[in-house]
Amino acid sequence: MKFKTIIEPFRIKMVEPIHLSTEEQRVGYLKQAHYNPFLLNSNQVLIDFLTDSGTSAMSSDQWSAMMNGDESYAGASSWLRFEKEVQSLTGMPFVLPTHQGRAAERILYGKLGGKGKTFISNTHFDTTRANIEFSGAEAIDIPVKEGLDFASDFPFKGNMDIVLLEKLLQKRCS
């Protein structure tokens, strides 16, 4: 009989206390914020599902790398190492680092977007939609109908509705 590993293969190196709120408190926080998670204070959030940018617990290697990082404003050895690695992976001579995906999207859609252009997805992330529409382009969501039924146990709700996609492309490209 083969056993499945149910623990992660590392030790957590940092612990941060969190405020445990009741369900009643959380409902109150949401009502007070008009159901807009961007209006919640961080101490009102038990588990943050709003972003994928968090690091959670960091490994000893990650902490060590932070301590060894070169924080110089210009010419940092860590930047030169990063630039060289990106160039070797992409073959591109120029590297423009961004601190987060949102910042990268702002640059990307500032270049690729614009009036008369359309970007289609199963469901655009809120900041992705904002960056697309800020450029003057249109963002269209076409998730499968199962993706809109939150109670469904459909195995993958992130699919794009291919039939709607074909109709949309025929209409826009004819």
Q: Do the Cβ atoms of 147 and 122 come closer than 8 Å? A: yes
Burial class (CB in 10 A: 0-12, 13-18, 19+), 9: exposed
Q: What is the pLDDT of residues 13-33, one digit of tens each?
A: 677 777 889 999 999 999 999
**Secondary structure class of 63 (helix, strand, coil):** helix
How far is Cα 135 from Cα 117, in angstroms, rounded to an integer?
A: 9
Cβ neighbours for 118, distance < 8 A, ≥ 6 positions apart: 137, 138, 139, 140, 172
Average confidence (pLDDT) over 90-97:
92
pLDDT at 56: 64
Of all residues in the chain, the percent with pLDDT exceeding 70 is 87
Q: Is 135 exposed, middle or buried (0-12, 13-18, 19+ CB in 10 A)?
A: buried
Report the C-alpha gap between 117 and 138 in whole angstroms. 6
Phi, psi (degrees; rounded to nearest 5) at 90: -105, -20
Distance CA 124, CA 139 (A): 7
**From 113-117, 141-145, 150-154, the region with the lowest mean pLDDT:** 150-154
Q: What is the pLDDT of residue 48?
A: 78
Instruction: Dump pLDDT digits (tens) for 95-132.
Output: 988 878 888 999 999 999 999 999 999 999 989 999 99
Confidence (pTM): 0.63
Q: What is the pLDDT of residue 28?
A: 97
What sign has the CA pseudo-torsion 146, 147, 148, 152? positive
**How high is the pLDDT of residue 87?**
97
Taking the CA of residue 58 as centre, how many other CA atoms within 13 Å lie in the half-sphere pointing to its CB?
Answer: 11
